[in-house]
Amino acid sequence: MKTLTKLLAATALTATATMATAGGHGEKWDMPMAYSASNFHSAVGAEFAKCVTTGTGGAIEIVTHPSGSLFPGAQIKRAIQTGQVPIGERLLSGHQNENALFGFDSIPFLATSFDDSVKLWEAAKGPITDLLASQNLTLLYAVPWPPQGLYFKNEVNSVADMEGIKFRSYNNATSRLAELTGMLPVTIEAAEISQAFATGVADSMVSSGSTGYDRKVWESLNYFYEVDAWLPRNYVMVNSGVWDGVSDENKNVINGCAELAEYTGFWRSKEYTGFTLQGLRDGGMTVGPASEQMVNELKEIGVTMTNEWLEAAGEQGAAIVDAFKAAQ
């Protein structure tokens, strides 16, 4: 909190000092984001953008483009790496196919609460920052999604009931979960899921109440089981070459705004959890815990997936899990 206050004070000072220069002489940074404008990640991103624009006195004006409107989610990281855009937001575990380490936060039943999500992030932040730096990317902030649960069209009480169901996945881990439960994975961005469910391309998914609420999935799906399987993170990154060109003063402002965004994003995610589950109920869905049998069977699958991840992520992966467990 102390650093936050200090950084906010610095931001306010810089804003006053440089306000005079605002008026169109600054750089414009387009910021692609994959999720709908109404989603809390996008709202936090918009506030972050405003904070930077005000804090740098307009020297850097960030303009957010939510809903995958500038680049679809799967292309955002590459667009930043290659300098097509300076900054953007993406689901961190979406890069698991590049390097297993990126999947640290999508391991079923490793970290299942907001508190544990923070501890896991503390254990992983260093290695992830280094990995991104080796790819010409500078990490600014990361915010967790609410806990992941399972959506279905029809009632499901065991893994056997899932056999053959078409399942929308959003990263390698969710595709693997589908395989291990006998479902048929199809990868679809959140921006496209309402249509995918309406047309029967998929009849189930694992996600947060938040995404189901944002995409009004009650129009097609009827059940949400609160499994609390994991809390994946979105993160905001900037092209490292662009970052190197930013003045120290403006770097301070951006870092201050990023710290504030991470802090408020975390709390919004927490608050949004109950709000959106109620929203699913109001939409007509049955929302509640999964059966004991289903939870136990999913936990067994979680053990398999943890072992597979540890094998793929090597020593660095093991160090993250060890540091997380030591902090619990």
Could you list the residues that contact ligand PCA (CB under 6 A)? Answer: 91, 145, 170, 190, 207-208, 210-211, 232
Q: With 0-12 CB in 10 A as exposed, 13-18 as middle and 19+ as buried, what is 326?
A: exposed
Query: For residue 121, which of 145, 138, 99 has the smallest C-alpha distance?
Result: 145
* Nearest CB to ligand PCA, comparing residues 53 and 234: 234
* Integer Cα distance of 176 and 108 in angstroms: 11
Q: Which residue number places its CB atom closest to ligand PCA? A: 208
Q: Which two structure tokens, joined as six digits, stand for 17?
A: 């000092």
Nearer to ligand PCA, 10 or 184 (CB): 184
Q: Which is nearer to ligand PCA, 171 or 250 (CB)?
A: 171
CB of 91 to ligand PCA, least distance (A): 5
Tokens of 223: 């059940």
Closer to ligand PCA by CB, 61 or 228: give it: 228
Amino acid 13 reads L
DSSP classification of residue 1: -
Q: How far is the CB of 233 from ligand PCA (least distance, A)?
A: 9
Q: Closer to ligand PCA at the Cβ: 138 or 210? A: 210
* Cα atoms found within 13 Å of the Cα of residue 153, Cβ hemisphere only: 15
- CB 71, min distance to ligand PCA, A: 15
Least separation in angstroms between CB 99 and ligand PCA: 19
Shortest reach from residue 279's CB to ligand PCA, in Å: 14
Q: Which is nearer to ligand PCA, 233 or 257 (CB)?
A: 233
Give the H or E element holding residue 309: helix 292-327
Closest approach of Cβ 52 to ligand PCA, in Å?
25
Q: How many CA atoms lie within 13 A of 299 on its CB side?
A: 10
With b meaning 16 or more CB within 10 Å and e meaning fewer, what string describes 184-221?
A: bbeebbbbbbbebbeeeebbbbbbbbbbbbbbebbebb
